[in-house]
Structure 1
Amino acid sequence: MYDVLVIGAGQAGLAAGYYLQRSGLTFLIVDAASSVGESWRKRYDSLRLFTPRMYDGLPGMPLSGNENDLPSKDEIADYFENYAKQMKLSIKLNCSISRLSKQDEVYYAETNDGIMEARNIIVATGPFQTPNVPPFAKSLSKNIVQLHSSEYQNISQLLLGTTVVVGGGNSGAQIAAELTSDDQQTVIHIHSSRYYL
């Protein structure tokens, strides 16, 4: 029985762990990934944060390097791994939760490694775990390469010609900027409040 079970070992889960460790409460951070920072390593090659390094550190450990530079995805993944080790956070990897229930003030998390019990739960899984693809995408020609930003790695996945980037969020803007730097690509960038890349 833990006082707190934290679901997700990304930036929010690690920051929660930092403060929980100082609280004296018993806690465990669980994550389905095989390493801390894995989800960052899987994102597109050119990803850089939109905020400078001086604002990107977690509590108790600043991000090293030029404070005005924008860190890459791999730098952030390395930083998260080092942070977890440096802070000696209690983390269980390769642990996915299929069901969470509550009975008599106790939470029960059904995992691939048995049932875990906790008095409190912090869900720190992040909002972008499931791609949002509009239904009409299925009716487009099979000759059109369609990639969600979670599948995109680099320009080599695309056909020569015109690329339409749908979505004006960070990923859509950054991918569109990357594609416009290639003379072989014509980029149409559609900002939409309803559908996101």
Structure 2
Amino acid sequence: MTTPAFDLEAAAAATEAVVAAITDADFDRRTPSDISVRDMLAHVQGFTEAFRMGATKEMVGRSQPPGPGAQLAEDWRDRIPAQLKSLVAAWRELDAWEGDTEVGGVLAPAPQMAIFALNEVVIHGWDLARATGQPYAPSEADLAILLGFLRDTPREGVPGLFGPVIDIPAEAPLLDRVVGLTGRDPAWSAA
């Protein structure tokens, strides 16, 4: 492979902008994933580092599935943006895309793991934006990658990853079709 298949920068920047606008007053709001904003931020804090290590392959054979009750670091306002930037940089290295890697106890081809990382960044950015009433517009290129990735999601969803698929018309915006494939209702509102 001469170049990475895609770049995570646009997705990371969109999610970083959402995170930057979140205040402590938002912590108890529910997200479309039915967890609090605080818990979703803790999840973002965890997966950004886990997928960075997936790019470097430093945890192959040693990674663990995420445990319950992850705590949000006190310095989350600085940590999450820094980790998003580190995630982007790690997946820009050509070696990141070679062979297999491991994240959360799951071993998979590195290009597939990069798509999982993209999915996490985009979908949880959407979760946080919806929960806090913010605009969110991931790139069409990223959404096209995710549509291809999620297209074959079983109707019943994937336990622990995605809820049952929500039918979205083919003419609906690409973002709506992508979130519907993850079991989220694109019309969900915090109101």
TM-score (normalizing by structure 1): 0.24
Which has more strand, going by share of residues? 1
Which has more helix, going by share of residues? 2
The structure with the largest alpha-carbon Rg is: 1
**Which protein, 1 or 2, shows the higher relative CO under an 8 Å CA cutoff with sep ≥ 6?**
2
